[in-house]
Structure 1
Amino acid sequence: METTKHKGRWQSIQTSLRRSCTPTAWLDPLWSGWVRFQLSRPYPPPYPNESVGAFGERLAAVYLERKGYFILERSFRTKTGEIDLIAVWKRRLLVFVEVKTGERATPAGEGPSDRVDDRKQKKITDTALRYMKQHRLFGTSGRADVIEVVLEPEIGKGPTFRHFESAFQAAGQFQMFS
């Protein structure tokens, strides 16, 4: 049985955690300025013999880290499929990221992210559920994002990113996203 002294201490810890996770109005301009600065920095060049897909995933991980995400895993594989990046956003939201890399958009305006079809969404959902089960995270909120990395062939011009947050709902029998 807990004593009131320990119970009061635990409640004060919970309260301070809630306050630390709550954004304050005066920090928002500082945070957005820091993110803009981080995103304007140059991105790393490709490694020798690195595939376009692997380079795009590495760039997307750097992009997410600069936006304030914490990367948990890269290329998580199971029997059902693969998730390119698994990250945490603001200490409470699990983000499953599919990265699509390409040279340029087609003349019709389609980009690499248009290749995430219903079958791929189902694979991502099944793999995300396996990850959550394996790590006992079923009480945690999650979402599926798609990041489109467009590599420019011109020298000196960096990659272009399009980040689609909550790109799709969970496909299949179970709901995991909120």
Structure 2
Amino acid sequence: MTGTVRISTCGRALLKIFYNRIEISLPSFVLRWIAAWSLGGLMVLTIHPAFADESVDLGDIRIEAATATPTAKGGRSRVRFQITNNSRTDLHLLGISTPVAAKTELVARVGSENTSVLQSIGIPSEETLDLTTSHLHYEIYPLEKVLQSGDNFPITLHFRGWSKSTLVHVH
């Protein structure tokens, strides 16, 4: 017994060569083996704490991959996340706050060594602001407590005219 796997592609080069379809015939036990390993991999991704960075929908706003670096009490931790603005209006992020630190700063890396602190940042309609890069992130300091891998803590995102809270995962 065999099964068929069909892979569709939109790539122009592959479209010319394979006419938008590749067919591979495999014995059914191989297809079951692939399915079992794929499901097992998904379960590991779901259970592993490094993948606990779930997305949070806050109406038309989506917060994804909210993480912080482990840091000693009194130190600085980097907080990273993505904000997707699915609304029809532009947003203006004024800052964040958290009970685990007294101060927060939006840090932008300018060039290879220089940094600048931004007071706020805009998020255009239907766009994503990526604060997970090495160029742009929040720093929270001085920490009121130790942040260890596996910990969670709340942050509040302050937009012009309103605020929303979400959890940050430390790892």
Using CA pairs below 8 Å that are at least 6 residues apart, which structure has the higher relative contact order? 2
Same fold (TM over 0.5): no
Q: When the two structures are superposed, what TM-score results if normalisation uses the length of structure 1?
A: 0.25
The structure richer in strand per residue is: 2
The structure richer in helix per residue is: 1
Q: When the two structures are superposed, what TM-score results if normalisation uses the length of structure 2?
A: 0.25
